Amino acid sequence: MTAGAFTFCLIALHLLGMLTAMHAVMHARTPQGAIGWALGLILLPYLTLLPYVYLGSSHFFGYRIGHLVPPTRTGPAQPTGTASLDTACSRYAAISRLAGRPFRGGNRLRLLIDGDASFNAMLAAMAAAEHCLLVQFFIIHDDTLGRRLQQVLLQQAAAGVQVCVLFDGIGSYALPQRYVETLSAGGVQIHRFATHRWRNRFQLNFRNHRKIVVVDGACGFVGGLNVGDEYLGLKPPLAPWRDTMLELRGPAVADLQQLFADDWQWITGSMPPMCQAAIADGDSSALIIASGPADPQETGSLFFAAAINAARQRVWLSTPYFIPDHAVRAALQLAVLRGVDVRILIPSRADHHTVFLASTLHAYQAVRAGIKVFRYQPGFLHQKALLIDREAAAIGSINLDSRSFRLNFEVAALAVDHGFAADVTAMLIDDFGRAREINEREYLDAPYLRKVAMHVAGLFDPLL
């Protein structure tokens, strides 16, 4: 290449970088992201233009298009019944409006602690399906647990049950094609969730992190577990794996079913089989909260901020990744100033080192603000649990980080029920009993270069 041609290419790259920087300033979700992309695209376009194509988009386009098609319902009609709501639901009315759906009364809830209890319950419920079975996970591995799931799905499809499966194309990147082909050949409708439409095609940031199982429209599961032997605590060095799922039976399952249908319709263009809403025969009030990059607002962050601001006595949080945004951090600090008992449980082991470094910096800042932070000791902590006072608790897939708040499709169930809150309280008391409270010395005594690494990792908060 001649010197003139090289100079022309360099000028063209910088001009393209400037134009792309304008796009980043106009469309980035956060000021930090806008500044970071703009500076990189203007000063070093030859290094940042290609990453921006894959990582720069802040909104998932087209997701809500076509979701006005009325669902086709199959299976026997079931009476929905009526059930009164817990009076405390009114304290969380803002979250209900944010979610765009009401609390549902008359549910029965069961807390499932760790992998064995969770997958024994989920696989047993799947094996009992009679009409339709909807299954969605972020990660599915072709290992012992993955093949157990595969066998149940094949058996149910052979028995005439309509089986639909979604998995995330990035989270399940290692899933062999033969696993999918075996299910498809056995009558299971299975699809990979991918950003397949042209405006999202190159984006790697948008991931469907939801974990949803719905059986006959009557029984549903939501929580933090994926399908893989590590989630049963069988793979060191992170073992034993600490996680939680929630089993719901009752009217709230219909909202989980509809959420699965939204994702299914985006991928396939058609609705999955859907059963009638379940009978209301329990005492719990529950609200399904869905969030994702297609939302007009940052639903995940607003959910946590609203729930924390509603607290009067305590806020106990369990999260594998503690990288709160400004709104959630402010809500936690204000809760401390109101005299609320604020405790956060995070891992002592790292599965992603950059995230762990950033989380350690945020933990230090939280401790300085009067928040009690604990590190779970036995193994890796992956559960996403929130307890508010003695009346409300949420279990789901939402991590306390910008990725869950802004980039991932997520789901959680908020239950208002003193009995269920007591179960979550007992679980978290046991977890805190296996944890070590940290103080400012964890950060202050760290080597200087490790502190620098924490602050460098913190610069990437919007992407972590």
DSSP string, 136-164: EES-B-SSHHHHHHHHHHHHHHHTT-EEE
Residues 202 and 347 in one domain: no
Q: How far apart are CA 249 and CA 9, in angstroms?
A: 62
Residues 132 and 240 in one domain: yes
**In the prediction, which pLDDT does 196 show?**
55
Q: Span 88-104, mean pLDDT?
A: 95
Q: How far apart are CA 194 and CA 201, in angstroms?
A: 8
* Residue 74 forms part of a structural domain: no
Neighbours of 384 (CB within 10 A): 24
Length of the chain: 464
Residues 361 and 326 in one domain: yes
Q: Among all chains, which residue has been given the structure tokens 């999202």?
A: 200
Residues 333 and 221 in one domain: no
Query: Would you name the residues annotated as active-site residues?
Result: 209, 211, 216, 382, 384, 389
Domain count, the chain: 3
**pLDDT tops 80 at residue 44:** no
**pLDDT tops 70 at residue 65:** no
* Residue 93 forms part of a structural domain: no
3-state secondary structure of 89: helix
Cβ contacts of 348 within 8 Å, gap of 6 or more: 375, 376, 377, 381, 435, 436
* Residue 292 forms part of a structural domain: no
Name the residue range of residue 352's domain. 299-463
* Residue 87 forms part of a structural domain: no
Greater confidence, 48 or 156?
156
Residues 234 and 276 in one domain: yes
Q: Among all chains, which residue has been given the structure tokens 């930090």?
A: 32
Q: How far apart are CA 317 and CA 393, in angstroms?
A: 10
Residue 31, token pair as written in the block: 């000021």
* Residue 78 forms part of a structural domain: no
Residue 70: φ, ψ to 5°: -65, 140
* Residue 86 forms part of a structural domain: no
3-state secondary structure of 232: helix
Residue 198: φ, ψ to 5°: -60, -35
Q: How far apart are CA 49 and CA 17, in angstroms?
A: 7
Cβ contacts of 119 within 8 Å, gap of 6 or more: 145, 148, 225, 231, 232
Query: Does residue 165 contact residue 194 with C-beta atoms inside 8 Å?
Result: no
Count Cβ atoms within 10 A of the Cβ of residue 275 and give its class: 0-12 exposed, 13-18 middle, 19 or more buried: buried
Q: Average pLDDT of the chain?
A: 89
Give, for 42, the enclosing helix (H) or strand (E).
helix 31-43
**In the prediction, which pLDDT does 76 show?**
35
Residues 307 and 261 in one domain: no
Residues 339 and 458 in one domain: yes
Residues 245 and 320 in one domain: no
Residues 173 and 227 in one domain: yes
Q: How far apart are CA 101 and CA 183, in angstroms?
A: 34
User: How many angstroms separate the first and last alpha carbons of the chain?
Assistant: 40
For residue 338, the Cα-to-chain-centroid distance in whole angstroms is 29
**In the prediction, which pLDDT does 1 show?**
65
Q: What is the pLDDT of residues 98-141, one digit of tens each?
A: 999 999 999 999 999 999 999 999 999 999 999 999 999 999 99
**In the prediction, which pLDDT does 54 show?**
64
Residues 311 and 444 in one domain: yes
Q: How far apart are CA 446 and CA 434, in angstroms?
A: 23
**pLDDT tops 90 at residue 376:** yes
Which of these three, 257, 282, 307, is where a domain ends?
282
Residues 329 and 385 in one domain: yes
CATH number of residue 414's parent domain? 3.30.870.10
Cβ contacts of 104 within 8 Å, gap of 6 or more: 83, 250, 251, 252, 254, 255, 280, 285, 286, 287
Beta 212-215 vs 219-223: how paired, if at all?
antiparallel
Residues 390 and 249 in one domain: no
Q: Span 354-360, mean pLDDT?
A: 94
Q: How far apart are CA 211 and CA 384, in angstroms?
A: 12
* Residue 100 forms part of a structural domain: no
Q: How far apart are CA 66 and CA 357, in angstroms?
A: 42
**pLDDT tops 60 at residue 172:** yes
Per cent of the chain over pLDDT 90 is: 71
Q: Can you name the residues that pair with 448 across neighbouring β-strands?
A: none
**In the prediction, which pLDDT does 48 show?**
77
For residue 216, the Cα-to-chain-centroid distance in whole angstroms is 24
pTM for this predicted structure: 0.88
Q: How far apart are CA 44 and CA 400, in angstroms?
A: 32
* Residue 75 forms part of a structural domain: no
**pLDDT tops 60 at residue 71:** no
